[in-house]
Every structure is written in structure tokens, then in C-alpha cells.
Structure 1
């Protein structure tokens, strides 16, 4: 487990899976330890995965200043990882909330990005959050599931602000609610730094106009992957994000939720391996 220091002295750690050319992985959550990503369905057979534990998560230490949990300030940690790896340019894959961190990094350091994959990444950094309507539209695609009747009212109430978060609707985040998904969901609370997550998108974290302007000049190839039954982001929102980049590919993984490498590992790995040769 490589350990290195952020510019402010915070101890950071990353985890290596596989061999070959490095592919840097930025986790979501926000602020969930990278362990939830596993080996991304077997992608480590094609590239060496370098999974960063963001500060205050997993094996990385907490910062002296909690304000550095803010997404834009985490960009310095990503750059510190590049320098630690000794890479002139690096390929990046970012999942979920990590997509906003990757976009801010690409906007600030465009010359350091080789290829970039955004996997089910809600484009908060672009000023386009997933809406309750997006999530409910996706949820209604699951009406034939045996758990739908109990889960949907609770999900609707939570999104409408009249109910609390309820684990009963966790199946909506997965394309297949099987034993693998249940075990994955059960680990989320222990793997997430909730205090840091509350600060990730704090005021000042994003400047959407500036970010969109910078990314419109990015020359790196970008892959935006959406899950066919994911509501955050929905395929239409992910496609809108893809249109910001001059050299972007957009793809939808059929039947996938927010964690597509769990829903159909073979499809996911085949598509990502083709993008990251």
C-alpha cells in the first residue's frame, strides 16, 4: 500500500490491483473508502488500478483542516498522487461523486490528463445535479421487482423531504439486487466519512461556468458511462455532461444501476478495456 504526503502534510494512501500501466481511480460516496470499488469487476486484468483513499477515508489520514474535504481542495491530493507515481500524464477513472473531483482536476491540470472515464458520475461540478424527478423516473423502471411496492413509497418520501433515508430503497441503486449487491450496500456506512461528505460540496466547491469553459478546451479523450436504470445521473443527464467535452464518447450500460461493475462485470470491463488500451 503506497503512502505519500499531500501538500499540507496529510498522510495519503492508495491501493494497487493488477500490473501494467497505471490507471488512477477516484472513488465516490462522496468520501467513501476506495475498498468499495474492489477490482472494478476484473479491470485489473488489463491495467494496474491505483485506488486513492481520499483524505479521512480508508487508510488515508484526516487533515488538520476539515475545510480541505471540499471537492476543489482535494484536487491538490490528486496532483500529489500523480507526482508520487512519477507520471507526466495519467489516465483517470472516476466514479459517482469522484467524477466532480476528476472534472475539477482536468479543468486545472488539462495537460496532465491522458484519458478520463466518468462512471455514473453526477455532474455537480458542471452545476447539474440529479433531480428527484430523474431518480423517480428511473425507479419506476423497476416496477416488476418483488421489492418495488415496499421500496418506492419510502424512496418517494425521502426525495420529497417528507421521509428519512430508509435502507428499504437501496435496491434502486443497483441493477441487480442480489447477495453481492446486499453485501456491497451493507458496507457503505462503515466505509464512508459522513462528516467529510457533508463538506465535499460545501459553498465554494464548484464554479460551474468556469469549469464548463475549461473543459470545453480539454483535448483528452473522455468516456462518460451511464447505467440504464440509474437515476443519479440518468442517461440523459450523463449525455448532457458528455457534450461539454470536445472529444467524448457516451455509452449506456444496459440494466446497470449506480455500480455497473457489479451488475454486469463482463460488459463493464470489456467497454472500459476498449477505452483504456
Structure 2
């Protein structure tokens, strides 16, 4: 069963969808993206979880991100908390990619999540220079969008265009469907004001997550946006988490290998007693106290 609607809070509605049945799992997309980013893995999840997809403020079909002078982090936290309340979700599993991973970790710190799974989460750069690299990538995306203008959707229809659009985001740009690329081009244009706000306000994650909240941090080994060396910082900040290195996938891994990403999400949101090692995973060197594995099998050819 699918339910699509927008949730209202003081005149603000967040676009969302609910699919499947089982324990609730909220999936949160990255900056300039939209809830449809999770469609490649959706069918693999809904047999086991009720999956809730949401568009962040300023993204997808949700209204613009408005801070009214309040810190951006506080606004996003309040909006997400209110969204959970509006949806009748009491400490669901929460997972996210990039900015969505940061929001998922924040939900864990707030006590709003029963488990957290973060795929290449934002917030683990060590200094301004490292974040300047990521900021420059998004500014290049903005410049490309400006150059293309009204021709962006035609560009997205061509295989060569999709290679340019996704070569930094995905390890296998050719696997992105045409309709997804067209929708993403539209979503990027809409999210530009939110992107400007978020880039100016970006800060490292340094909050403590309660020990009774299972945390999985899975980094894409071919991540060109938040490079894999940031995974080492994540191990220092969240030592109790299970840390995975996902081979063969890029920053937005859902189209690169839907099957494997779905396994990571299901395992991260499983009851602790039922968690089994990922097939092909092996222990990796990490900070004492961290549970660290590297997904060793080849992914995606």
C-alpha cells in the first residue's frame, strides 16, 4: 500500500510517502535531492519495513526552507521532530544519505530514533579546507545548472548528459534512469536556495548518541563528494557505531547497487538480536571500541 501526502505544521507541509508494512523506517535524502532518490531500493525494503520517504524543507515537493533567523540545525531538527509527531511515529528507525545521514544521526542524539543508519553522512570533515572541497563541488553543479538553463531536462535525457550529471555522485552513472535524471534536474533547481543556506551553515557533527541506539555508518568507497577518509573521523566521533566501507558505490549509492544498499538498511534497522554479519564483510582496522567492517565483495561489476 502506498500513501502520499504532505504533513502540515504551522502552514508548512512536508511531502511524504508511506509504503509497505512492518517496523517503521524513515529514509532521508541528501542536499538538493528528493525522496525519490530511495526508489531504487524501495521494493527490497517494503516486504520487511513500513518505509516512510520524506522531502526535506526546500527540497522535492516540500515548501522552501525558512529559518527566520534561527540556526539552520535547530530548524531542521525541529521540522523533522514535528514531522515524526505528525506521522504518529514514535522512535522509528531512521536512515539517511549525506545530509540525510547527518539528520538521522541527529535524530539518534535527540532520542527520536530506535536505530540510525547513515550512508556517507555529512558532518565529518576535519577542517574548513576539507569542507571547502565539498562546497566547491556543489558550486560546480550550480554553474552547470546555470549554463544549461531551460535545456537541463534535454541534457538529462542523453546518456552523455547523465554521465556528466552523475559522475561525481555515482560510481555507475549509466544506471540512473532517464526519468529519475529529469526529476533530479528539476529538484536541483528548486533546491538552490536551500543549498545556499545549508552550505553557509554547515558544521561538523559532534553530538553524543545514547548507547542504547544502534548506529551503522556505511561509507561509499568511491565517494567523491564526502571522501572516504572522512570515515576515520566518523569512527572517532561515534566509536560505538558499526562502521562499514561499501565497495564499488559512490556518494549516492542507491542506483549503483540497490540490492546491497537495501541489505545495509535492513541490517541497520534490525533488532539487535537478529543482526548477522553482512555477506563478504571482514573486520577492518579501526579505533578501539568501534565495530568496523569493510564490505569486501565486488559490487556492481
Tell me which interval the TM-score lies in, with the shorter structure as reference length. Answer: 0.7 to 0.9
Give the conservation status (yes or no) of the 8 Å contact 1:229–1:255: yes
- How far 1:177 moved relative to its partner? 2.6
Which residue matches 2:54? 52
Which residue matches 1:32? 33
Please give the residue correspondences for 1:191-206 in structure 2 after superposition, counting only pairs within 5 Å: 191-192=187-188, 193-203=191-201, 206=203
3-state DSSP of counterpart to 2:225: coil
Which residue matches 1:21? 23
Kindly indicate whether structure 1 or structure 2 has the higher relative contact order, using CA contacts under 8 Å at least 6 residues apart: 1
TM-score (norm 1): 0.74
3-state DSSP of counterpart to 1:220: coil
Question: Does residue 238 in structure 1 map to residue 228 in structure 2?
Answer: no
Q: Distance in 2 between matches of 1:160 and 1:196?
A: 13
Residues 188-226 of structure 1, C-alpha deviations (whole Å, 9 max, x = no match):
2201311111112434x64x4xx52x3265541111111
Residues 12-64 of structure 1, C-alpha deviations (whole Å, 9 max, x = no match):
22111222221011111x14321222153522332121111122333323366
Unpaired stretches in structure 1, ≥5 consecutive residues:
136-156
Number of residue equivalences: 245
TM-score (norm 2): 0.68
Please give the residue correspondences for 1:1-12 in structure 2 after superposition, counting only pairs within 5 Å: 1-6=4-9, 8-12=10-14
3-state DSSP of counterpart to 1:4: strand
Structure 1 window deviating more from structure 2 (95-104 vs 67-76): it is 67-76
| 1:176 equivalent among 166, 172, 175 | 172
Q: Distance in 2 between matches of 1:250 and 1:35?
A: 26
Unpaired stretches in structure 2, ≥5 consecutive residues:
146-160, 271-301
Question: Does residue 266 in structure 1 map to residue 259 in structure 2?
Answer: yes
- How far 1:232 moved relative to its partner? 2.6
